[in-house]
Amino acid sequence: MGRSPCCEKAHTNKGAWTKEEDQRLIDHIRNHGEGCWRSLPKSAGLLRCGKSCRLRWINYLRPDLKRGNFTNEEDQIIIKLHSLLGNKWSLIAGRLPGRTDNEIKNYWNTHIKRKLLSHGIDPQTHRPINDTKAVPSQIVVVGPNQNDAVEYSLSNLAVKQENSSGASTSGTTTDEDLRQNGECYYSGDNSERIELNLDLTLGFGSGSGRVVGAGLLADSKPWRDQLMAARLSLL
């Protein structure tokens, strides 16, 4: 009958972690590696639930965490990625080695949001606060490496959705879609195939070029993530 419960909630500690708890968790992961969060608390002798152990390790104890203030370069990367991905903190964190999703989320809410607002920019749409009509003229496509971010000017984007019976519908994203999400999307059913057609103008310093491509999204993953993957494949 499914899996057994992860922990006995009545017998777990809550709140701030003690140094001793931290050390037990570090020692255990050093000896046994990450994973198996369900059984970890018991085998490490911790009165915490696995979920809490995982969070403590990922957000605070991991040896590869950077710590310290965010650099201006990191600020810019976060802002650019947020304009493309929205509040997808884990995806953003994936592009910033040594930073966690929780850390970036906190930093966004306490620093960057305020910074953008003080410059008259809406932190959700990344557009001037009093500009309610215009559609974003740029989207950001991010390559496999951290420094691969390239800005595209958007000339046309069309998405075709095809269901399992072969019937298809198609359309171009609406202005309202773009305004609300800061990116292009098609609000189709996750379970169906989605075909993406892009017609983009690229700008590199003084030069420019044009990319026209298409990506077919399989149906095994959340379609929104696949949209990202399709964009990558167009590069």
Sketch the per residue contact string, 101 through 140, with DNA: x for CB under 7 A, - otherwise: xxx-xxx-xxx-----------------------------
Taking contact as CB under 7 A, which single stretch among the options 15-23, 75-83, 166-174, 210-218 is the one that binds DNA? 15-23
Q: Does 10 sit near DNA (CB under 7 A)?
A: no
Cα 190-188-82 angle, rounded to 5 deg: 80
According to the binding rule CB under 7 A, does residue 16 interact with DNA?
yes
| Residue 62 found at the interface with DNA (CB under 7 A) | no
Q: What are phi and psi of 112, to 5 degrees?
A: -65, -40
Q: Is the dihedral of CA 220, 103, 26, 7 positive or negative?
A: negative
Name residues whose C-beta falls within 8 Å of residue 119's C-beta, 6 or more positions apart in sequence: none
Span near DNA by CB under 7 A; candidates 52-60, 126-134, 148-156, 177-185: 52-60
Strands, E assignment, 163-230:
168-172, 193-204, 207-217
Residue with tokens 């370069």: 73
Strand duo 138-141 + 193-204: pairing = unpaired
Closer of 27 and 225 to DNA (Cβ): 225
Q: How many residues bind DNA (CB under 7 A)?
A: 40
Q: Which is nearer to DNA, 58 or 158 (CB)?
A: 58
List of residues contacting DNA (CB under 7 A): 1-6, 13-17, 35-38, 50-52, 54-56, 59-60, 87-91, 101-103, 105-107, 109-111, 190, 221-222
